[in-house]
Amino acid sequence: MALLDEDRLFPVEPRTRGLARDIYRTIRDLPIVSPHGHTDPAWFALNEPFPDPAELFVVPDHYVFRMLCSQGIPLTELGVPRVDGGTSERDPRRIWQLFADNFYLFRGTPSALWLNHAFQEVFGIDEPLGPQTATRIYDHIADCLARPQFRPRALFDRFNIEVIATTESALDPLEHHRTIRASGWGGRVITAYRPDAVIDPEFEGFAANVARLGEITGEDTTSWHGYLDAHRARRAFFKQHGATSTDHGTPSARTEDLSPTEAAGLFDKALAGRCTAEEADRFRGHMLTEMARMSLDDGLVMQIHPGAFRNHSPAVMTRHGRDKGFDVPTRTDYVRALKPLLDAVGHEPGLTIILFTLDETSYARELAPLAGAYPVLRLGPPWWFHDSAEGMRRFREMATETAGFYNTVGFNDDTRAFCSIPARHDVARRSDAAFLATLVATGRLGEGEAYEVARDLTYTLVKAAYRL
Amino acid sequence: MALLDEDRLFPVEPRTRGLARDIYRTIRDLPIVSPHGHTDPAWFALNEPFPDPAELFVVPDHYVFRMLCSQGIPLTELGVPRVDGGTSERDPRRIWQLFADNFYLFRGTPSALWLNHAFQEVFGIDEPLGPQTATRIYDHIADCLARPQFRPRALFDRFNIEVIATTESALDPLEHHRTIRASGWGGRVITAYRPDAVIDPEFEGFAANVARLGEITGEDTTSWHGYLDAHRARRAFFKQHGATSTDHGTPSARTEDLSPTEAAGLFDKALAGRCTAEEADRFRGHMLTEMARMSLDDGLVMQIHPGAFRNHSPAVMTRHGRDKGFDVPTRTDYVRALKPLLDAVGHEPGLTIILFTLDETSYARELAPLAGAYPVLRLGPPWWFHDSAEGMRRFREMATETAGFYNTVGFNDDTRAFCSIPARHDVARRSDAAFLATLVATGRLGEGEAYEVARDLTYTLVKAAYRL
Amino acid sequence: MALLDEDRLFPVEPRTRGLARDIYRTIRDLPIVSPHGHTDPAWFALNEPFPDPAELFVVPDHYVFRMLCSQGIPLTELGVPRVDGGTSERDPRRIWQLFADNFYLFRGTPSALWLNHAFQEVFGIDEPLGPQTATRIYDHIADCLARPQFRPRALFDRFNIEVIATTESALDPLEHHRTIRASGWGGRVITAYRPDAVIDPEFEGFAANVARLGEITGEDTTSWHGYLDAHRARRAFFKQHGATSTDHGTPSARTEDLSPTEAAGLFDKALAGRCTAEEADRFRGHMLTEMARMSLDDGLVMQIHPGAFRNHSPAVMTRHGRDKGFDVPTRTDYVRALKPLLDAVGHEPGLTIILFTLDETSYARELAPLAGAYPVLRLGPPWWFHDSAEGMRRFREMATETAGFYNTVGFNDDTRAFCSIPARHDVARRSDAAFLATLVATGRLGEGEAYEVARDLTYTLVKAAYRL
């Protein structure tokens, strides 16, 4: 029995479904271009086996463990590591059984689709995960993981990944990327510059981070100009390791374009730990504009990911730390928030800024009108909670009429779950095929155009937008 | 001629429709579990005939009379009682004719579906209501109402209601519930604890209400601790009358977790009528957390219904009073608003808090991510303006991918229109069948799973969530 | 080869499609009633040929040139006039070629549909616009434009326009409207009163505009009462030129109902240029209520178009001026914002206020509940960025269940692109037919009702709401 329906995510009406299927066939096997994500470069540098099924599918995947947590299963029982000194479950078989017992909770979610895709397509499993099949499936996956064909580099090749970007902190030495390059292996793994830790005055250890940035770069990061130069140096270093983009995660889309004097003053306060919340926010907002200006010089594409209320539960944060499924989207405004940045650089040739959102209400109201006018702006794909069939449909329905297809940039898998990468790209390809088939069937797009657009959305646009 | 299409609300594509029909058939006849609503317990206590068709379908139904009002028909002509001493139309036949003359206004609304369902399924009517048929239909319904089979208890049985919850003010003596229990009748009618009148400093007569709470409970409600004890006593009294839940209608989802000293200080101010608007809001927010703490002790499930701007029109409020169709939803934020409550009790085993919204933008952005992480949270069904085919579809499409099905709690009819109860549950069952069939037809859910989930959404989840 | 699919915008399922087609056939040829738009009355007064294809389709159409701009094509190369003294491209053939080369950017947008509709239906073109066909299509259109059948009045007749409203500033002398009336031509072209320039203290030249209003009307517009009398006089003058409505474009939906003393005080400040931003906003809000009161006297229907952040890019504003595609919608609240106005006149018989929005989240949450209760309110059709197949679908899906059909007012084309008028009305008729067919196919509307509603949405409601 197959875990996957051959025609999944296609429209139900037979003629439109047939068209979607035809479109999909032409893009199904295109290489994966993954310009934004959180895979671990150590996998590709060291090429060691993944340890066990629980470590592969449960323990690091916040989509999975937060859903189980929401039904009363403690994170500790799922093996999520503790930062408070307590212990978590260490037996991967017990974790796996608990996961399997509760796998029905994922019904109707993209996680179910991704997991089933990985089970079937990566591991050749053909029976549904559940209480009775847990052990058999565990054994099968564990058996696979011990084999060379399931090591990271082999999977990379099998997944047909043309290029994948990881995301590293500005302070990261990038040694794994160096190792990969030195290894002679042909896989293209690049980094992206993520400077939140040295840009956000409210980040843990901000002053120490900035000091460290100074040490690494040899710049005097106690001065505003030295600090900016250190960013420049670090960006250049990231570029040397393949980076074509920077990435910025901010609580809101607020930008500022302050005078050098004011910016320097805020920077001094931030280093001294004396910023108010408003001043910290103002400084973060200004740094987005500084980063955009540096992009004008070095050509790095800028990604802005605003709108997550991070670490909403102090209990989980204290016990388990960051990124444990308790980040919640918030209402995000772009029109006023981006104005200082756009006033400064909104019409600059050669600059690309890719906007993401966790607030779908902004697609039709704000993001499409902005991206449908300003030459520097592009719309990132549906992100995080919206990286799903329904999320992708709403994105295309709400953004296309005003921004068109050519102000979008293809798909991001944005994942740390390696085996979900083919699944996620497949969902995007199917969803785009479904949307395009519907446009054709309703007379809004020529059939020939649909095939061209399908290829553009899958392959051409992402390479152009990210300069890959 | 039938008023109802046998396949109403099912997908149009034949294969998917067939599947929806098959799923629906397995849940169509399950008992109605109605955990939240506003039927009058006096109906079941006294079991008197409903007075006339106008009193049954028009006069008390704000969905109906506000639509007629919106087209210029005065509420007085529809028999809506006045609180300002003036008179309203008293002839039910004139009210009914006016209703029938304007029944076309309801085209495309859930009211039309509910009304036609009641006409056909409860009263056996097979011709559409309109100017020409008004009298004939009036006579037919009036004739029915005089018969024993149309008394409240008979309809209760005929509607296959397993249990229904009414909603009573904290000050209500619950004598009708006592009468029902004492009567020997087998129908299960339970209450729910709705303490707005003694929790909201801005409620009419707040201080007097709190004094009355003291009299009823024998507690000293002039002190903060006595006031809390009075709530505890009253909740216990409601539990004795079957309550398994509390219900809280607040302007926003704001919660607070104040120190006892600050809470007591605000309480004193509230009693003295000296709260500013901000202080009143702060106090309301804190009382939600107090109620949650009491739920930890007594096991009552907590329902939070925020976001209505009540009594928007002072003209209507002055003439007709509360709940006259002039309540309007407002933008409602949950992420920051609920944080104090969730910080306090968000991970408590055994606590259930059911969140409702009138702001659909929060489904995918805030509510599903919160309910998909915090163990105490569940999502209530689409509410009030969204209790409709489109509203239910949007809810499932926007909430399921992140929260799954198992963080939802089945359907609430939330109505005071008794004859609409079967209609509303039928709409929910059909909508769920349609959604599940679509998931199956698009490869997102197994067919066997769909039947299980259908039963869960109709019957299992509501009983579990509300502890019925 | 046809540019247009005969069945475009209809549902894909064959039975529902057939029904939509049947419904559409009954409304397809109804006359166009265009109660709100921005065509130039000079066209109909002077009846001169349109100059060339670029001037007809590219240069004045912000939907078109902003999309090209968003992909890096400077507005100057598209012939968009400059206000800063610089030059723009003047060769219409070069502009046209650039447009044609980039026509693929409009894939999936309503602009593509409108343009192809005009190419095929107005000009008889049957090959797609693109780099290779640009010249041939240019020549063909240019050839047509030289012929009498393509002059404005001939097109007006051919488009089957029963009545069209233009929009003029309160200071406009309306000489073109006088010319049209005096000409003996039978086309009905009426004006609408748009007083933003003399109501908004932040409008360029506000004080001079108000002084000019005084000169035109002979009222003393240095006094509050004279200013109001000048509005009354001007509204009467517009009524003489056919106006049945006023139109108000405001940053938000804020209304106020100030005391005469406060209003007069703000007016004095505004004239003196001493209003703060808050005071200017307060004054604008109050003037909406004044306009509503005047409508009570003179019967003009009031249109409120809030929510655009105008001229977002200062670079574009400085170079090219207003209305150049850089207006961006913002989040818009109605519930609190409209309360002062509704408290004042919300239940007045004979008053009609038509609400528009650029924030679709308000349809189900705020606008439908308000319009489904207050007798003075009606919902305008999906506007601007939402005047599209998806926009219309979302509007009907989100507004109908609470407001019904009869609190809506048919379609507005709202355009300055004359040749797009039949296309836009056709999109609306098809979208409504699709929606109604879906309701019938899902048992939510009787088939006979659907035909009646279709005619109402196309013809009856707009004439009634706008008193045409």
Question: Quick check: C373 and B66 CB within 8 A?
Answer: yes
Report the CATH number at residue C269.
3.20.20.140
For chain A, give the mean pLDDT. Answer: 97
Q: Which of C375, C439, C453 has the CB atom closest to B70's CB atom?
A: C375
Distance (Å, whole) CA C363 – CA B176: 40
Same domain (yes/no): A162, A253: yes
Question: Quick check: A377 and C70 CB within 8 A?
Answer: yes
Q: For residue A1, name the pLDDT band (cuts at 50, 70, 90).
A: low
Which residues of chain C make contact with B313, given a CB cutoff of 8 A? 342-343, 346-347, 373-374
Residue-range definition of the domain harbouring residue B29: 14-48+151-465
- pLDDT, tens digit, for every residue of B249-294? 999 999 999 999 999 999 999 999 999 999 999 999 999 999 999 9
Q: Distance (Å) from the C-alpha of residue A269 to the closest C-alpha of chain B? A: 27
Closest listed residue to residue A72, CA positions, set B371, C414, C441, C403: B371
* All partners of chain A with 3 or more CB pairs under 8 angstroms: B, C
Q: Which residue out of C257, C365, C377, C447 would a mutagenesis test of the B interface target, given it has the greatest number of B Cβ atoms within 10 Å?
A: C365
Same domain (yes/no): B221, B155: yes
Closest listed residue to residue C45, CA positions, set C173, C180, C153, C192: C180
Q: Distance (Å) from the C-alpha of residue C44 to the closest C-alpha of chain A? A: 31
Q: Per-residue pLDDT averaged across A78-99, rounded?
A: 96
Question: Quick check: A389 and B401 CB within 8 A?
Answer: yes
Q: Per-residue pLDDT averaged across C208-235, rounded?
A: 98
Same domain (yes/no): A120, A252: no
Asked if residue B4 belongs to a domain, the reply is no
Which residues of chain B make contact with A390, given a CB cutoff of 8 A? 397-398, 400-401
Asked if residue C5 belongs to a domain, the reply is no
SS3 C300: coil
Q: How many domains does chain B have?
A: 2
Q: Distance (Å) from the C-alpha of residue B433 to the closest C-alpha of chain C? A: 13
Answer whether A97 touches B (CB < 8 Å): no
Q: Distance (Å) from the C-alpha of residue C465 to the closest C-alpha of chain A? A: 27
Q: Is the pLDDT of residue A45 over 70?
A: yes
* All partners of chain B with 3 or more CB pairs under 8 angstroms: A, C
Last-in-domain residue among B124, B148, B172: B148
Same domain (yes/no): B261, B358: yes
Same domain (yes/no): C245, C134: no
Which residues of chain C make contact with A11, given a CB cutoff of 8 A? 12
- pLDDT, tens digit, for every residue of C43-99? 999 999 999 999 999 999 999 999 999 999 999 999 999 999 999 999 999 999 999
Rounded average pLDDT per 10-residue block, chain B, 468 residues:
94 98 98 98 98 97 97 98 95 98 98 98 98 98 98 98 98 98 96 98 96 98 98 98 97 97 98 97 98 98 97 97 96 98 97 98 98 98 98 98 98 96 98 98 98 98 98
- Of chain A, the percentage scoring pLDDT greater than 90 comes to 99
Answer whether C314 touches A (CB < 8 Å): yes
The confidence score (pLDDT) of residue C1 equals 67
Same domain (yes/no): A253, A275: yes
Chain B segment 368-427 residues within 8 A of C by beta carbon are: 385-386, 388-391
Asked if residue C415 belongs to a domain, the reply is yes
Distance (Å, whole) CA B432 – CA B451: 11
Report the CATH number at residue B124.
1.10.2020.10
Asked if residue C388 belongs to a domain, the reply is yes
Question: Quick check: A385 and B407 CB within 8 A?
Answer: no
The confidence score (pLDDT) of residue B1 equals 66
Q: Which residue out of C5, C8, C12, C252 would a mutagenesis test of the A interface target, given it has the greatest number of A Cβ atoms within 10 Å?
A: C12
Same domain (yes/no): A192, A75: no
Q: Which residue out of C10, C374, C407 would a mutagenesis test of the B interface target, given it has the greatest number of B Cβ atoms within 10 Å?
A: C374
Closest listed residue to residue C35, CA positions, set C174, C164, C150: C164
Asked if residue C9 belongs to a domain, the reply is no
Report the interhelical angle of A447-455 vs A14-27 (nearest 10°): 40
Last-in-domain residue among B148, B178, B206: B148
Answer whether C104 touches A (CB < 8 Å): yes
Question: Quick check: B108 and C453 CB within 8 A?
Answer: yes
Asked if residue B55 belongs to a domain, the reply is yes
* Residue B79 neighbours by CB distance under 10 Å: 22
Asked if residue C4 belongs to a domain, the reply is no
Same domain (yes/no): C135, C279: no
Closest residue in B to A427 (Cα) is B444
Distance, C-alpha C219 to centroid of its chain: 31
Q: Per-residue pLDDT averaged across A251-264, rounded?
A: 97
Which residues of chain B make contact with C452, given a CB cutoff of 8 A? 104
Distance (Å, whole) CA A352 – CA A356: 13
Q: Distance (Å) from the C-alpha of residue C293 to the closest C-alpha of chain B? A: 17
CB B49 within 8 A of CB B145: yes
Question: Quick check: A406 and C12 CB within 8 A?
Answer: no
Q: Is the pLDDT of residue A129 over 80?
A: yes
Answer whether B104 touches C (CB < 8 Å): yes
Answer whether B364 touches A (CB < 8 Å): yes
Same domain (yes/no): A198, A231: yes
Same domain (yes/no): B142, B155: no
Q: Distance (Å) from the C-alpha of residue C15 to the closest C-alpha of chain A? A: 11
Closest residue in A to C310 (Cα) is A335
Q: Distance (Å) from the C-alpha of residue C260 to the closest C-alpha of chain B? A: 21
Q: Per-residue pLDDT averaged across A149-155, rounded?
A: 98
Q: Could you write out the three-class secondary structure of chain B?
A: CCCCCCCCCCCCCHHHHHHHHHHHHHHCCCCEEECCCCCCHHHHHHCCCCCCHHHHHCCCCHHHHHHHHHCCCCHHHHCCCCCCCCCCCCCHHHHHHHHHHCHHHHCCCHHHHHHHHHHHHHCCCCCCCCCCCHHHHHHHHHHHHCCHHHCHHHHHHHCCEEEEECCEECCCCCHHHHHHHHCCCCCCEECCEECHHHHCCCCCCHHHHHHHHHHHHCCCCCCHHHHHHHHHHHHHHHHHCCCCEEEEEECCCCCCCCCHHHHHHHHHHHHCCCCCHHHHHHHHHHHHHHHHHHHHHHCCEEEEEECEECCCCHHHHHHHCCCCCCCEECCCCCCCCCHHHHHHHCCCCCCCEEECCCCCHHHHHHHHHHHCCCCCEEECCCCHHHCCHHHHHHHHHHHHHHHCCCCECCCCCCCCCHHHHHHHHHHHHHHHHHHHHHHHHCCCCCHHHHHHHHHHHHHHHHHHHCCC
Please state the ipTM of this predicted complex.
Answer: 0.97
Closest residue in C to A351 (Cα) is C72
CB A229 within 8 A of CB A315: no
For chain C, give the mean pLDDT. Answer: 97
Asked if residue C316 belongs to a domain, the reply is yes
Same domain (yes/no): B71, B59: yes
Same domain (yes/no): B136, B243: no
Last-in-domain residue among B108, B131, B148: B148
